[in-house]
């Protein structure tokens, strides 16, 4: 009985820690709790079965408090995967070796990060999943921007994140949005947009990644006009009329096959 109580206590501690952090890599979780990796995997499997966490490529995300959010990072990972992977490959072809690249949060940007694994790049990101993914290798130099971690996406936001971006410079910014319509890109909240605007201000080239489902969609906060963007990368599902409007709005448009 005592052993069973210890397991329950340990799993409750893991769930509590993840509820505070939103996202953790397996390595960080093992260190924080002081258990073996195999024990952590068993505990996470149990918690996942209970609907408390979801395991991802980079670690584990706490989801119990937001099970109904269709835009949650872990749920969106399984949406339009083929399209996002195609977009990611096309973006990776735009990035020369040795560049300094800012990668925004979100599942499409996460796929871009996967496509860049093994490349010799300097990466700046406010995404905990992306930072964990790329820092696990030896090729990329990763600067992880801190701040309040938004649980639904695992990105650092707020004044701390903005201050840490001050003084940094990058060749490219890869960023996403919640919707694009009438020559404007939108996102879901103001603090997210504030950090993305700061990212745009320190990058020479702005690359917006958006699968075809984003076009014709409008969200809460204006992120930018499309004429502030240098390149839009989308997938082959975009219709001809939308494609023409995008090209007319100013940026170069790449359709990933």
Measured CA to CA, the distance from residue 74 to residue 60 in angstroms comes to 9
- Predicted confidence at residue 53, as pLDDT, reads 79
The whole-chain average pLDDT of the chain stands at: 87
pLDDT of residue 210 exceeding 90, the answer is: yes
Q: What is the mean pLDDT of residues 158-172?
A: 93
Q: Which domains, and CATH codes, for the chain?
A: 2-65 (1.10.10.10), 76-256 (3.40.50.1360)
**H-state helical runs in the chain:** 2-21, 26-33, 37-49, 73-76, 81-92, 107-115, 128-135, 159-165, 190-202, 240-248
pLDDT of residue 186 exceeding 50, the answer is: yes
Percent of the chain with pLDDT over 90: 61
Q: What single-letter DSSP state applies at residue 18?
A: H
Reported confidence tier of residue 3, pLDDT bands at 50, 70, 90: low
Residues 119-153 pLDDT 10s: 999 999 999 889 988 988 889 999 999 888 887 78
Q: What is the mean pLDDT of residues 12-19?
A: 85
Between CA 108 and CA 117, with CA 112 as vertex, the angle to 5 degrees is 145
- Predicted confidence at residue 24, as pLDDT, reads 81
Reported confidence tier of residue 64, pLDDT bands at 50, 70, 90: low
Q: What is the mean pLDDT of residues 194-210?
A: 97
Residues 104-126 pLDDT 10s: 998 899 999 999 999 999 999 99
Confirm if 2 and 10 have CB atoms less than 8 A apart: no
**pTM score:** 0.72
- Predicted confidence at residue 79, as pLDDT, reads 60
In DSSP notation, 81-122 reads HHHHHHHHHHHHTT--TT-EEEE-SSHHHHHHHHHTTT---E
Residues 6+ apart with CB under 8 A from 72: 61, 63, 66, 152, 153
């Amino acid at each position: 009985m005592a052993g069973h109580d210890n397991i329950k206590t340990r799993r409750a501690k893991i769930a509590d820690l993840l509820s505070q952090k939103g996202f953790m890599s397996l390595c960080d979780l093992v260190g924080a709790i002081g258990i073996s990796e195999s024990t952590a995997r068993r505990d996470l499997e149990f918690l996942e079965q209970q609907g408390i966490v979801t395991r991802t490529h980079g670690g584990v995300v706490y989801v119990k408090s937001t099970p109904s959010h269709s835009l949650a990072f872990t749920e969106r990972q399984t949406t339009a995967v083929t399209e996002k992977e195609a977009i990611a490959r096309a973006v990776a072809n735009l990035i020369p070796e040795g560049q300094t690249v800012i990668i925004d949060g979100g599942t499409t940007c996460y796929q871009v990060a996967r496509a860049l694994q093994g490349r010799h790049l300097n990466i700046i990101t406010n995404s905990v999943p992306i930072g964990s993914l790329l820092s696990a290798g030896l090729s990329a130099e990763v600067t992880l921007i801190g701040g309040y971690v938004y649980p639904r996406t695992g990105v650092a936001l707020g004044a701390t994140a903005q201050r840490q971006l001050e003084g940094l410079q990058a060749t490219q910014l890869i960023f996403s949005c919640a919707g694009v319509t009438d020559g404007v890109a939108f996102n879901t909240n103001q603090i997210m947009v504030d950090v993305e605007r700061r990212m745009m201000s320190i990058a020479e080239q702005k690359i917006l990644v958006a699968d075809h489902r984003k076009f014709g969609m409008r969200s809460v906060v204006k992120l930018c006009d499309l004429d502030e963007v240098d390149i839009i990368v989308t997938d082959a599902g975009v219709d001809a009329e939308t494609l023409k409007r995008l090209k007319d709005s100013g940026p170069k448009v790449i359709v990933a096959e």
